Structure 1
Amino acid sequence: MEATDLTTRALPWGAVWGQDAAVQTLREAASDPAAMTHAWLITGPPGSGRSTLAYAFAAALIAEPDDDQAMRQVLAGTHPDLTALRTEGVIISIKDARALVERSYFAPAVGRYRVIVMEDADRMAERTSNVLLKALEEPPERTVWVLCAPSDADLLPTIRSRVRTLRLREPDVADVARLITERTGVDAATAEQSARHAQRHIGMAQRLATDADARARRDETLRAALRVRGVGDVVEVAGRIVQAATEDAKALTAERDEAERASLLRTVGVAEGAAVPPAVRSQLHALEDDQKRRATRSLRDGLDRVLTDLQSLFRDVVMLQFGRDGELINHELEAQLRELADAWDAERALVVLDRVAETRRNLEQNVAPALALESLLVTVASGRTP
């Protein structure tokens, strides 16, 4: 897939990749009031660039076409006419939603529009969604809402009826692999494997391509699941999977947590290694609370990534059972997958796939991770749902 002039490196669309049709729609909306809608929903699978596109659109709406400085401010999240909610907790709180609604009624300070970007809008409970309804239905003339979610089905019908939905396309494995090679310089084979294992999720593919430990944890997790032969293996393997997801989450958050702590202390004038004055401790505690919430979300996301990988594993088993061996995600494990495909009938493989999907939903409902995984692995071992 070749890039077109729709996504040139010129601001603000330069970071948007592989979504030419969506860019065309939003460019027209930003430049033509007749094509404009004041509430948008950008949907697409994780890693498809929903947030990147949302901020590019915000920059095009807020800044004049030749004002590169204002566009850079929006893309950096520092422009006064941009209000963004980046969710790092498990859910979006009613308090946060109300704050967005309040900001939406402010007139633009310096730009053409005030833009409200809500990432992960699918993390709203019904009560929280209801807070947004009137603001989405009757926004002020120069306010634009941009929600992002994996699918419009993840939001209430009352929300969907008040927004214009823009669906992003999924890139091909080869396209993602080329992008990863361009961005990171890794060899073509590593980029292709990472894009395939990440199931075309650009961010995850980049991480796998550049982090050997992440690749090793994924490989060990899948091999452990393939070794489950009886109920006696279940507790051990479930524990391993939770441990791998925990280590992955810590690796993602530890460096960022330390950088945030150091930045806060520098900002308030505390030298490195010096004692923290009592007046600063409340700010430090607030930061640590935010980081703990983020760690909880990161672990939940890590477990979901593991389950996505397991889903790809048992999907490959089904593909082999139906003679589709050219479309495997995990073809490095083809010998073990063929063994399983021969040992199971198609019904059992489909039962396991359904159980993986159910486990993902259960974890979103705060089911204990170890218990959820043990229950899943009992189905893997027996072919029956506990």
Structure 2
Amino acid sequence: MEYWSEIVGQPEAVRALDDAAALDVTPSHAWLITGPPGSGRSNLAFRFAAALISRGQDREAVYKQVRARTHPDLGVLTTQKLLIDIKAARDIVTTAHYSPAEGRYRVIVIEDADRMPERTSNVLLKALEEPPERTIWILCAPSEADLLPTIRSRARSLRLVTPSAADVARLLHERDGIDAGAAERAARLAQSHIGMARRLASDPDSLARRDRTISIALGVQTLGDGMRAAASLVKVAEADAAAITESLDAREREDALRSLGLPPGAAIPPQMRSQIRALEEDQKRRSTRSLRDGIDRILTDLLSLFRDVLLTALRADPELINRENEAAIAELADRWGPERSLVVVSAVETARERLGRGITPALVLEALFATQSTAAALAPAELSLGGNR
């Protein structure tokens, strides 16, 4: 099935969606696609959306429009904020009642459906209870537990798995033309997260920032080291977020000016300033979210490092994620032992949970490295008596 060739490591899901999108089948009116970050939830959702809209031989042409978010029969609900607000949900529900303009169905994709608070979810629930005849909803979330039971019960669920690093590397090599060795390293370091693997393989700056993250963490021994490491990694995350958003912000501003009939660099008439201000506010929210996402990526990288240390300390003969740092990992495992290593792994997991609750990223990292430096100084007996409280 060449149309689905970009979808990695999800053969059962692809078969189910391809069958559901067949011309002689009436598909379920709502779908819930769940899977871990990097499993390809959004890519699969938009491929499925194009297949549902398509009338047969035009799948690829429809997908190009769907990917660009320009197809008239596609609606997308997403957010640059931490939560999807109720007004955005009401607006998209209103469009659900429009008849398809060109395709077989009108399809509405909700990315990050787990970001809907209960009030917002209830707006969607009403639309799912009384679905328009030719509208199909596709919701994406990390797990079914992230949505209200009443919404889960009204959607057909499709669970994705984490693709293997070998599958991700093969995709990068065959589709993007990336050297096989570089593709293998990127897929391994990204822990099979497809989007991150592509960035690490194609952007030397992204790979250098990850290498710096690991180097900084390996250098923490004292509390002072930890506080300096926290400050440095916030700067790493800020640089990563800026790399993602700056070119996108400039392109969006240029497009907005063009749509208003203004050449690049022209003065903005007073009556048009509110539209540009709204764009700038959206971009500021995206920048904030990108920074938090960058901190979470750093924490994911640190978790991979300290799990490597823990497994090495346990003499588990692990296949290291951070193979390039094998000597430093072995030295740290000998110095910490399993008890200290487990304390630090738990501290990273706690840091990710705190970040998800909206705690300031700098404070999250400072608390993590304070725990790391303290754990490194304590004896195993002290740890068991509460050193990780």
Give the TM-score normalised by the residue count of structure 1. Answer: 0.92
- Report how far residue 107 of structure 1 moved: 3.0
> Residues 1-386 of structure 1 correspond to what in structure 2 (within 5 A)?
6=1, 8-9=2-3, 13-31=4-22, 36-68=27-59, 69-383=61-375, 384-385=387-388
**Ranges in structure 2 where 5+ consecutive residues have no aligned partner:** 376-386
- Report how far residue 183 of structure 1 moved: 3.5
- Report how far residue 247 of structure 1 moved: 0.6
**Ranges in structure 1 where 5+ consecutive residues have no aligned partner:** 1-5
Distance across 2 between alignment mates of 1:112 and 1:263: 30
Q: Which amino acid aligns with 1:65?
A: G
Q: Deviations over 1:309-332 (max 9, x none)?
A: 011011111211232334110011
Distance across 2 between alignment mates of 1:187 and 1:32: 39
Distance across 2 between alignment mates of 1:341 and 1:18: 33
Q: Deviations over 1:324-369 (max 9, x none)?
A: 3341100111111112211223233222222211211211221111
Equivalent pair of 2:227/2:370 in contact (CA under 8 Å):
no
Q: Deviations over 1:25-61 (max 9, x none)?
A: 0121122776732111111222222112111211222
Distance across 2 between alignment mates of 1:34 and 1:316: 48
Give the TM-score normalised by the residue count of structure 2. Answer: 0.91
Equivalent pair of 1:41/1:146 in contact (CA under 8 Å):
yes
Equivalent pair of 1:90/1:296 in contact (CA under 8 Å):
no
Count matched residues.
Answer: 377
- Report how far residue 374 of structure 1 moved: 0.8
2:382 is matched with none
**Could you tell me the percent identity over the aligned residues?**
57
- Report how far residue 157 of structure 1 moved: 2.5
Equivalent pair of 2:307/2:345 in contact (CA under 8 Å):
yes
Worse-superposed segment, 286-295 or 340-349? 340-349
- Report how far residue 275 of structure 1 moved: 2.3
- Report how far residue 269 of structure 1 moved: 2.7
1:3 is matched with none
Equivalent pair of 2:81/2:285 in contact (CA under 8 Å):
yes
Equivalent pair of 1:28/1:35 in contact (CA under 8 Å):
no
SS at match of 1:122: helix
Worse-superposed segment, 244-253 or 219-228? 219-228
Distance across 2 between alignment mates of 1:291 and 1:238: 26
Q: Deviations over 1:223-268 (max 9, x none)?
A: 1111111212221110011110011100111111111112222232
